[in-house]
């Protein structure tokens, strides 16, 4: 029919195949080809039924996001959906891979659906800050009932083909989409099945019409974690229209909601984040065709906080690891923490009951570094001192097999320096996970001066295999995430010396959308470790020191920057802390002033942006969007604000620069504007306009 849609006929069955790699997104050309093919099949007197299928790795994965914001091209979605739905001949959608977003909506407008066993079906539009805008909120509840529809539409996660069959979203599971779809179409003809148009079938809405709590309870459950995001709430409302309004009216209201979200800033930020994550996969400077090394065995050194979390991430992905410790005692402690962690998740229903035992069985705990001999990848997560790291790496050099990738999880230390402890610096790199490592998705893959391209590719690919989001960065103190974060942490502390309280600073951060504030985080990590380290180094942080002197070591002590009731992790503001801060300031001769929330936000966030600009200047990261991905997946930056660099572009870099200059006078070099930022402002440009590396 055209370059991207093919029409074949197998006697009475027309087969329409979309072939628009990589994901058969519904571009204007695909819509044109689809409409023309269906019309041609309808007017062909030989054709009795139509199968819609896709070539390549997937069914339609949705509207073409790359065409968003461009002038609309015909045929419109409305026209396409009407042609499909009103076809007098049955249309069977045959789904493999992913049937997502507009792709599932196209399938829903067909009269029958079949799918392969491994197919995933879902409406993930909320993840782009949108709602399904082509009838999904009206047809899905009619296909599967409002409860599951709310789960899928408001949560955005897809369901399996088995569940789709169970809940009536598909009619059959098939082995091959094209031939399975065709066989099903023949069955429809043989059995003279009437066309099933979901728009005319309200049967699955009846229960929720009689008892609205079926719907409202599902919405309450699914919006629990949606704080700050608009789309889940608007999407939930649209499912409500399916229950309350006639189909056409529901469809009209759905489109209103879609257009409102589409025009808003949150959706633009979330679309940006989608592409930012994919851009991060393109590694600058990696020669074309670089193959990663095969990884069959993995060893992790150190079963502490991070080593344990990293081992869990591998086991969660079904990959066995050898976990190396210095003593049986340490090993037992580390293994015990992992077991408890998984058991707690199983108890909450997060993983199957038998998962903890199965996952523990994948972890082979051993004592002694000589146990790494068979590993293709070794990740070190021992104490954070250069001497210990060097000792471990020189031993790894002795024991590891040739070609094994040697990774360090160090937070701050130089990978170049660590690599020098070996005779194979080409195999050494950083794999910096974020805490808790079994939860946070970010993995900074640190490319050192001598890291070989295939070693880098190996780390990136294994990180993806364990469901992490890898971002390639260069060597510097703290790499990207911690280096930027520390600028903000420093200001948070400083603000307490001027009159802000921990609860004010933290409230500004959580209102902005961060998952938690700096001081709650300090309490969780424990204040005593920093205190001891300061004492050793002979440095002071008077407020934090005063808290520790008063036995306020954080959550574990029931008091820190906040107080905690027995058995509770909920931080409660404590007048005692205010008194301690007041006394400290008095002792230091400092006057408290009222610090506005706006100032708190600017003081916390603008140094992050400035540091990001310096990181880009130094070539530590390849593109501003990589920094945003680090923040989204390492620190839980609110996705509807895109990331700090994107957010800065939205505020206007001239405004950010002006504030930095204003603060620089009194607050020091963290506010000294990065030359890159000054240049961009002088040229009237944004971070988003910086030239992107080719690969
Ligand atoms: N439109 C345009 N391009 C898309 C796309 C889409 N809907 N989905 C994926 N792509 C592109 C990616 O940008 C990437 O391009 P690149 O190679 O140039 O970077 C390429 O396809 C491959 O994507 P992934 O790297 O993500 O491949 P995976 O195999 O890991 O994942 C996927 C495939 C599960 C389909 C994943 O890409 C995905 O989740 N896509 C988005 C699905 C989605 O959100 N659909 C809804 C769109 S909005 C909509 O339909 C509105 C409607 O209601 C009217
Ligand atoms: P930890 O103190 O909890 O664990 C370190 C473990 O390594 C201990 O169990 C120790 O017995 C073991 N170990 C020490 N020397 C060893 C050796 N030679 N062989 C085998 N095991 C050995 O420390 P944590 O917090 O897990 O940190 C580990 C590394 O990860 C550090 O480099 C740290 O900077 C980094 N990191 C820490 C994060 C955190 O939030 N805790 C976040 C990201 C990175």
Q: Each residue of 625-660: pLDDT tens digit?
A: 999 999 999 999 999 999 999 999 999 999 999 999
Ligand 2, atom 4, lies closest to the CA of 304
Residue 294: Cβ within 10 Å count: 10
Note whether 5-263 and 516-587 share their fold: no
Q: Which CATH class is domain 516-587?
A: mainly alpha
pTM for this model (two decimals): 0.95
- The residues that bridge with 470 in the sheet, in sequence order, are 443
Return the ligand 2 atom nearest residue 382 CA: 7
**Ligand that lies nearest to the alpha carbon of residue 60, given by its number in the listed order:** 1
Pairing type for strands 5-10 and 377-380 reads unpaired
Kindly list the protein residues whose Cβ atom lies closer than 6 A to any atom of ligand 1.
22-23, 25, 61-66, 98, 100-102, 105, 124-125, 128, 132-134, 136, 278
Distance, C-alpha 436 to centroid of its chain:
15
Residue 350: Cβ within 10 Å count: 10
For residue 413, the CA-to-ligand 2 centroid distance in Å is 13
Residue 383 CB less than 6 A away from ligand 2: yes
Mean of all residue pLDDT scores within the chain: 96
SS3 state at 302: coil
Ligand 2, atom 31, lies closest to the CA of 384
Q: What CATH number was assigned to the domain covering residues 298-477? A: 3.40.50.720
Q: What CATH number was assigned to the domain covering residues 480-498+595-695? A: 1.10.1040.10
Ligand 2, atom 14, lies closest to the CA of 382
SS3 state at 52: strand
In percent, the amount of the chain with pLDDT more than 70 equals: 100
Distances (CA, A) of 313 to 25, 351, 467, 639, 654: 32, 14, 8, 23, 42
Give, to the nearest 10 degrees, the angle between helix 481-496 and helix 597-617: 150
Q: What is the DSSP letter of 645?
A: H
Residue 392 CB less than 6 A away from ligand 2: yes
Mean local confidence (pLDDT), 292-316: 97
Residues 506 and 520: beta-carbon distance below 8 Å: yes
Residue 693 has pLDDT above 80, yes or no: no
120: which 2 tokens? 């995933």
For residue 95, the surrounding DSSP H or E stretch is strand 91-95
Where does the pLDDT of residue 370 fall: very low under 50, low under 70, confident under 90, or very high at 90 and above? very high
237 CB-near residues (< 8 Å, 6+ apart): 257
Residue 1's pLDDT is 77
Return the ligand 2 atom nearest residue 380 CA: 29
Residue 695 has pLDDT above 60, yes or no: no
Q: What is the DSSP letter of 26?
A: B
Q: What is the DSSP letter of 53?
A: E
- Which residues are identified as catalytic? 105, 125
> Minimal CA–CA distance to 61: which of 91, 112, 21, 3?
21
Taking only the tens place, the pLDDT of each residue in 411-439 is: 999 999 999 999 999 999 999 999 999 99
571: which 2 tokens? 């931080």
> Minimal CA–CA distance to 300: which of 376, 391, 237?
376
**Ligand that lies nearest to the alpha carbon of residue 444, given by its number in the listed order:** 2
64: which 2 tokens? 């073409």
395: which 2 tokens? 């031993």
Of 382, 437, 479, the residue with max ligand 2 atoms within 8 A of its CB, to mutate for a pocket test, comes to 382
Mean local confidence (pLDDT), 280-297: 94
Residue 434's pLDDT is 95
**Ligand that lies nearest to the alpha carbon of residue 80, given by its number in the listed order:** 1
Selected from 3.30.70.360, 3.30.70.140, 3.90.226.10, 3.40.50.150, the CATH number assigned to the domain covering 5-263 reads 3.90.226.10
Residue 694's pLDDT is 53
Residue 691's pLDDT is 80
Residue 692 has pLDDT above 90, yes or no: no
Taking only the tens place, the pLDDT of each residue in 480-491 is: 999 999 999 999
Taking only the tens place, the pLDDT of each residue in 33-88 is: 999 999 999 999 999 999 999 999 999 999 999 999 899 899 999 999 999 999 99
Cα–Cα distance measured from residue 362 to residue 373, given in angstroms and rounded to the nearest whole number: 18
For residue 556, the CA-to-ligand 2 centroid distance in Å is 20
Of 381, 407, 413, 437, the residue with max ligand 2 atoms within 8 A of its CB, to mutate for a pocket test, comes to 381
Taking only the tens place, the pLDDT of each residue in 108-163 is: 999 999 999 999 999 999 999 999 999 999 999 999 999 999 999 999 999 999 99
Cα–Cα distance measured from residue 666 to residue 532, given in angstroms and rounded to the nearest whole number: 30
Phi, psi of 663 (to 5 degrees): -75, -30
- Per-domain boundaries in the chain: 5-263, 298-477, 480-498+595-695, 516-587
For residue 303, the CA-to-ligand 2 centroid distance in Å is 7
Mean local confidence (pLDDT), 176-192: 98
Residue 681 has pLDDT above 80, yes or no: yes
């Amino acid at each position: 029919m055209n370059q991207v849609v093919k029409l074949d006929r197998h006697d009475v069955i027309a087969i329409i195949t979309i072939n628009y790699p990589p994901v058969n997104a519904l571009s204007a050309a695909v819509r044109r080809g689809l409409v023309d093919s269906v019309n041609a099949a309808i007017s062909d007197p030989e054709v009795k039924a139509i199968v819609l299928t896709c070539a390549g790795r997937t069914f339609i994965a949705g509207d073409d996001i790359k065409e968003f914001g461009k002038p609309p091209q015909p045929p419109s979605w409305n026209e396409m959906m009407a042609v499909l739905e009103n076809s007098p001949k049955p249309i069977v959608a045959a789904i493999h891979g992913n049937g997502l977003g507009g792709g599932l909506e196209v399938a829903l407008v067909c009269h029958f659906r079949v799918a392969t066993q491994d197919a995933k079906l879902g409406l993930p539009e909320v993840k782009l800050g949108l709602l399904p805008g082509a009838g999904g909120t009206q047809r899905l509840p009619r296909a599967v009932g409002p409860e599951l529809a709310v789960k899928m539409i408001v949560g955005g996660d897809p369901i399996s083909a088995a569940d789709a069959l169970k809940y009536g979203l598909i009619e059959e599971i098939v082995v091959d989409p094209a031939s399975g779809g065709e066989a099903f179409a023949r069955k429809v003809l043989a059995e003279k099945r009437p066309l099933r148009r979901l728009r005319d079938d309200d049967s699955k809405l009846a229960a929720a019409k009689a008892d609205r709590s079926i719907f409202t309870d599902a919405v309450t459950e699914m919006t629990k974690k949606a704080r700050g995001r608009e789309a889940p709430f608007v999407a939930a409302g649209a499912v409500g229209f399916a229950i309350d309004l006639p189909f056409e009216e529901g469809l009209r209201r759905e489109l209103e909601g879609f257009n409102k979200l589409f025009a808003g800033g949150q959706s633009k930020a979330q679309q940006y984040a989608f592409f930012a994550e994919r851009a991060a996969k393109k590694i600058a400077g990696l020669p074309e065709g670089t193959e990663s090394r095969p990884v069959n065995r993995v060893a992790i050194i150190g079963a502490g906080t991070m080593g344990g979390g990293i081992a869990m991430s591998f086991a969660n992905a079904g990959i066995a690891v050898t976990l190396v410790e210095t003593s049986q005692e340490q090993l037992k402690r580390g293994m015990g923490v992992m077991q408890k962690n998984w058991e707690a998740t199983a108890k909450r229903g997060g993983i199957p009951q038998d998962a903890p035992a199965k996952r523990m069985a994948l972890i082979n705990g051993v004592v002694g570094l000589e146990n790494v001999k068979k590993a293709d990848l070794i990740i070190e997560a021992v104490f954070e001192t250069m001497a210990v790291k060097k000792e471990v790496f020189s031993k790894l050099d002795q024991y590891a097999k040739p070609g094994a990738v040697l990774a360090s999880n160090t937070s701050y230390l130089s990978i170049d320096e660590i690599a020098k402890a070996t005779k194979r610096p080409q195999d050494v790199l950083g794999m910096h996970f974020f805490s808790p490592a079994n939860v946070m998705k970010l993995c900074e893959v640190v490319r050192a001066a001598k890291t070989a391209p295939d070693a880098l590719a190996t780390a990136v690919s294994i990180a993806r295999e364990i469901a992490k989001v890898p971002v390639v960065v260069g060597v510097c103190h703290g790499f990207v995430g911690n280096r930027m974060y520390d600028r903000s942490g420093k200001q948070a502390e400083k603000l307490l010396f001027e009159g802000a309280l921990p609860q004010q600073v933290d409230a500004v951060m959580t209102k902005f959308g961060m998952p938690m504030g700096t001081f709650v985080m300090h309490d969780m990590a424990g204040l005593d470790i920093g205190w001891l380290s300061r004492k050793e180094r002979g440095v002071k942080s008077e407020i934090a020191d005063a808290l520790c002197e008063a036995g306020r070591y954080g959550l574990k002590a029931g008091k820190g920057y906040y107080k905690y009731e027995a058995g509770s992790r909920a931080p409660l503001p404590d007048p005692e802390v205010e008194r301690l801060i007041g006394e400290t300031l008095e002792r230091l001769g400092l006057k408290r002033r009222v610090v506005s929330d706006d100032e708190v936000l600017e003081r916390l966030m603008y140094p992050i942006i400035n540091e990001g600009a310096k990181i880009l200047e130094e070539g530590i990261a390849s593109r501003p969007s990589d920094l945003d991905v680090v923040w989204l997946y390492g620190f839980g930056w609110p996705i509807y604000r895109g990331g700090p660099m994107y957010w800065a572009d939205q505020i206007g870099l001239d405004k950010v620069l002006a504030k930095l200059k204003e603060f620089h006078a009194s607050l020091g070099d963290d506010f000294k504007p990065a030359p890159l930022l000054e240049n961009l402002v002088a040229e009237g440009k944004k971070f988003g306009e910086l030239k992107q590396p080719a690969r």
